[in-house]
Structure 1
Amino acid sequence: MAENTDVVVVGGGYAGVMAANRLTQRDDVTVTLINPRPAFVHRIRLHQTVGGAGDPVVDYREILAENVHLMVDSVTRIDAAERSVTPATGGPLGYDYLIYAVGSGSADPRVPGAAEYAYPIATLEEAQRLRPVLEAAPRGAAVTVVGAGALGIEAAAELAETGRTVTLACGGTFGPYLHPRVRRSITRRLVERGVSVLEGPDAKVAAVTQDAVRLRDGRTVPSEVTLWTAGFGVPQLAARSALRTDALGRLLTDETLTSMDDTRIVAAGDSAAPSGLPLRMSCQSANPLGAHAADTVLSRIAGEPPAVIDVGFFGLCVSLGRRDATVQLASRDDTANLLSVSGRLAVKIKESSYTGLIGQLADEARKPGSHTWKFKDTNRRQLVRSRRDEAAATVGRAAQPGT
């Protein structure tokens, strides 16, 4: 009888579900998915939840393979030496391989008053906590969205469409991924919807109070409800477990997504930092990285060398309410180019991403091993090679006498 292999997947987001489903290709692999919620959260719809429409919750029965065991719990520690994880409830759970897919969430705001008076919206619980606050606020109450990445832009547009008085405060670059021409177009369309866009160093938020936001240049912006979308963070589980991470807390891996500390631990999604050069935090990368993490584990079980990652992006979809959107197309190295799509076609593309991502997970549950991805990053291998050569040169110089 063939020996059974136990694989524990920590995190039930896009990457974790994709990995768990793909692992079921082998009958001799037992898969346990540990997630703190009993249902899947379609995170790219959270801005709609903030606006009062759109349900981001999906039943795991729709997207998870029947033979994957779902454990609703949180993992507090990974013991690599013992090959076990410690859930918040119950005793340790052993594994032969572990896939680390804990995802990302809101960054810890260091601005005075932000933790007390601002509402982050990067998780389901955060968005749900905000909803009754918005519902209780008068329709004309001033709302400020801090941060103008994709989530901030989408939340501002969604709230403006419901008739809210919205200010979007961006102390850095508005839509930092976007091409300057696309950035100007989105800014103009937000303004047309009544959003006051404040950007540049002077618009950096210096403090948040119960009824206002104070900017670095001394301006005070009235704000009865303040949303915080500036930055993302990752759970510190890897760091707490004495595994090497990057500065943000993402697990450091090689290009096969294998931990630098343990070949039995493989990472995927937002919480992975392959070669110290993590991919863009995105659902676009989460599904293929989840599939690749599973393939790495399956290769090791089969005694074969795992492949290196080759994941690229087609671009960034940004919704501007329900009737408008922009698709910023990317070059093959995941940099924004001059090409973009707006209007009804962009809305259709954005809406298709909602159903498409869930469809990919459901398809992999029904037919494990079927998920493929078209977009490749042609420059990543060269970038990784250059980084390694630079590191080797630095070590060489440090080893020279007199340096």
Structure 2
Amino acid sequence: MTGNTDVVVIGGGYAGVLAANRLTQRDDVTVTLINPRPAFVERVRLHQVVGGSHAAVVDYREVLGERVELVVDTAARIDAPARTVMLASGGTVGYDYLIYAVGSGSADPDVPGAAEFAYPIATLEETQRLRPVLDAAPATAAVTVVGAGSTGIETAAELAELGRQVTLVCGGLLGPYLHPRVRRSVAKRLAKLGVTVLEGSGTKVTAVTSDAVRLGDDRTLPSAVTIWTAGFSVPDLATRSGLSTDTLGRLLTDETLTSTDDVRIVAAGDSAAPSDLPLRMSCQTARPLGAHAADTVLARIAGTRPEAISVGYFGQCIALGRRAATVQIAAKDDTANKYSIGGRLAAGIKERACRGVVKELVDEARKPGSFTWGFKDDKRQQLLRAKQNETALHR
């Protein structure tokens, strides 16, 4: 392409900010970032907002490159044929290329009373609504955390360390991602903090009231404050815009992260479903996908062939209060193994990781193209071939 190229990035999370900064490698690219908030949210610290130990907010001036224009607004619809984004305020922003990085949020709980009486914490605004509720509750009040993924575990541990009476309702396994050996270690730490962990099929929540949680095995738990961490969903912007999505609403792309509908739309982060085989929703995934989305756009501008994604994993860091954590080690294909790091050493690793991801954004703003990801998944091509063979068999 010749002349100036306008690229719009929708979403100012880890993937969107990294992509926006990386795009400024070319002087002939104008980058606009659309985000509903005026500040960057450290989503990996939202459990600390619940506990009151961190604000989880960074000024965009610290993490965005000088050449990235920030538009504080909400994208209401994408008009792909016209190459414009319609804003909730009524304005429009045109683009030559679009990076779709809208992230994820809380899933609507399909449980009676949950929407009215439980507090989700997948966004900054949700955690800020919860804080005064916790502050108003007596120190001895029963607090129930529903959902035993990393967010649920971290939130339960954070509050228990503050002396709260916390019950963690798993609805199944504690930490489904974890290796059984590591799961036992996490359970031991939670017990030491005083968290009551309820596991098993009978612990699925069937109803929530203003002062109780009812389980599938007919138990009723007193609960002055119920915190909901079970499940994530993605915004329906792609669906509303007539773009192809998977069953959860993630934008369907090829392996270069390019939309299956439009070569000028590229996805990144939690809202991307490459080859309908989406990667784990996490900060660990968002950063390399953000970088790759930018590289795909830059390749198209340069007239070269974009590369296929290859994102590998190292595992998962889970905070267990401020003084301990677990680092679950995994294979590059994200399969957890029996190895882990625990205690204060793991807590230090977790904190350095949280600071490190913000530093990566700052470094990419100062030196676009500097971000690298050393973990590569060698098994994704096998999964793709298996999926293709299965599709061929059902034709």
Q: Same fold (TM over 0.5)?
A: yes
More displaced stretch, 147-156 vs 278-287 = 278-287
Residue 389 of structure 1 and its aligned partner are, at CA, apart by: 2.1
Give distance in 2, aligned partners of 1:273 and 1:342: 33
Give distance in 2, aligned partners of 1:394 and 1:211: 50
**Over the residues paired in the alignment, what is the CA RMSD in angstroms?**
0.9
- Which residue does the alignment assign to 2:78? 78
Residue 279 of structure 1 and its aligned partner are, at CA, apart by: 0.6
- After superposition, residues 311-390 of structure 1 pair within 5 angstroms as 311-390=311-390
Give distance in 2, aligned partners of 1:75 and 1:321: 36
- Which residue does the alignment assign to 2:32? 32
- Which residue does the alignment assign to 1:400? none
Give distance in 2, aligned partners of 1:381 and 1:363: 31
- 1:22 aligns to 2:18 (yes or no): no
Give distance in 1, aligned partners of 2:239 and 2:2: 35
SS of residue in 2 equivalent to 1:300:
helix
Residue 266 of structure 1 and its aligned partner are, at CA, apart by: 0.1
Give distance in 2, aligned partners of 1:294 and 1:219: 50
Residue 381 of structure 1 and its aligned partner are, at CA, apart by: 1.2
Give distance in 1, aligned partners of 2:392 and 2:70: 44
Residue 2 of structure 1 and its aligned partner are, at CA, apart by: 4.4
The amino acid across from 2:160 in the alignment is: A
Give distance in 1, aligned partners of 2:388 and 2:298: 27
SS of residue in 2 equivalent to 1:245:
coil
The amino acid across from 2:182 in the alignment is: V
Residue 244 of structure 1 and its aligned partner are, at CA, apart by: 0.6
Residue 173 of structure 1 and its aligned partner are, at CA, apart by: 1.9
Give distance in 1, aligned partners of 2:333 and 2:100: 26
- After superposition, residues 2-401 of structure 1 pair within 5 angstroms as 2-395=2-395
The percentage of counterpart residues that share the same residue type is 72
Residue by residue over 1:351-399, the C-alpha shift from the partner in whole angstroms, topping out at 9 and shown as x without a partner, is 011110001000000000111001111100111122112212222xxxx
Give distance in 2, aligned partners of 1:55 and 1:314: 27
Deviation beyond 3 Å, 4+ runs, structure 1 = none
TM-score by length of 2: 0.99
SS of residue in 2 equivalent to 1:358:
helix
SS of residue in 2 equivalent to 1:257:
coil
TM-score by length of 1: 0.97
Residue by residue over 1:305-363, the C-alpha shift from the partner in whole angstroms, topping out at 9 and shown as x without a partner, is 10000111111000000011000001121100111000111011100111100010000
SS of residue in 2 equivalent to 1:273:
strand
Name the count of aligned residue pairs: 395
Structure 1: tracts of 5 or more residues without a match? 396-403
Give distance in 1, aligned partners of 2:52 and 2:141: 16
SS of residue in 1 equivalent to 2:364:
helix
Residue by residue over 1:284-320, the C-alpha shift from the partner in whole angstroms, topping out at 9 and shown as x without a partner, is 1111100000000000001111000011111100000
Residue 90 of structure 1 and its aligned partner are, at CA, apart by: 3.0
Residue 176 of structure 1 and its aligned partner are, at CA, apart by: 0.8
SS of residue in 2 equivalent to 1:248:
coil
Residue by residue over 1:133-162, the C-alpha shift from the partner in whole angstroms, topping out at 9 and shown as x without a partner, is 000000000000000000000000000000
